[in-house]
Amino acid sequence: MKLPYILFLALTFCFCGSANFHLEEQLKIETFVKGVYDVPRDGTGNTFFMIGLKLKNISDSTVEFLTMTCTTGSNLVFDSNQVEPVINNCASNYATPIVLKQNQEFDFTFLLKADKSYPDKLKIGWIILTKENTHSVDKYFDYLHKFRENLENVIWANPIELYCCAFNQFEIK
């Protein structure tokens, strides 16, 4: 009689305890190039891409994750070492929860610095940090570093093409 009860508790713990780590089933990620810029005075030969990223809640429930108020780009990962985000400067930077209701989108635009040997195609990922998988907001950077090193809790977008004409300059909605 105890076996079914123990099995029920074990399954409940497995499904409920891991629910926060499966946000990739609740969020759809899309990335796209919004612009390409050469900065002549930079002197390095780097190319800069304006990149748009959207995370859409495709679940029937509310989704919550953490990011930084200014260095939001710290959640980004790439499949190439030849690129890196240009991080914003600000006066106050702290971990903050983002709460998305059903069908809501989180839009983020960032500047991507690419060196001379950047790839033609690039995969961009978003590290999902939650209060549950960081155990507290105070441990944000510890877990961000761990997840980045091991590519854990990452939602990957489809690859984008990195060349001068891989985008539209405007959109009609």
Instruction: Give the C-alpha separation, 53 to 133, whole Å.
Output: 23
Instruction: Give the C-alpha separation, 170 to 173, whole Å.
Output: 10
Under a CB-based contact definition with an 8 Å cutoff, are residues 134 and 152 in contact? no
pLDDT at 9 over 60: no
| Cβ count within 10 A of residue 37 | 11
CATH code of the domain in which 46 resides = 2.60.40
Structural tokens at position 167 = 């985008």
Residue 70 lies in a domain: yes
pLDDT tens figures, 45-82: 888 999 999 999 999 999 999 999 989 999 999 999 99
Under a CB-based contact definition with an 8 Å cutoff, are residues 128 and 24 in contact? yes
| Number of domains observed in the structure of the chain | 1
35 membership: H or E segment, kind and range: strand 27-38
| Cβ count within 10 A of residue 83 | 21
Residue 106 lies in a domain: yes
Residue 6 lies in a domain: no
pLDDT tens figures, 122-137: 999 999 998 888 777 7
Q: Determine phi and psi for 3, rounding to 5 degrees.
A: -60, -50
What pLDDT does 25 receive?
A: 85
Residue 90 lies in a domain: yes
Q: Which of 56, 18, 55, 26 is nearest to 133 (CA)?
A: 18
HSE, CB side, 13 Å, CA atoms: give it for residue 64: 10
pLDDT at 165 over 90: no
Instruction: Give the C-alpha separation, 106 to 112, whole Å.
Output: 18
Residue 99 lies in a domain: yes
State the average pLDDT over residues 22-37.
87
Residue 98 lies in a domain: yes
Task: Quickly state the pLDDT bin for 166 (edges 50, 70, 90).
Answer: low
pLDDT mean across residues, the chain: 83
Residue 11 lies in a domain: no
Residue 73 lies in a domain: yes
Q: Work out the percent of the chain whose per-residue pLDDT is above 90.
A: 55
Under a CB-based contact definition with an 8 Å cutoff, are residues 46 and 115 in contact? yes
pLDDT at 120 over 60: yes
Domain, as residue range, for 77? 26-161
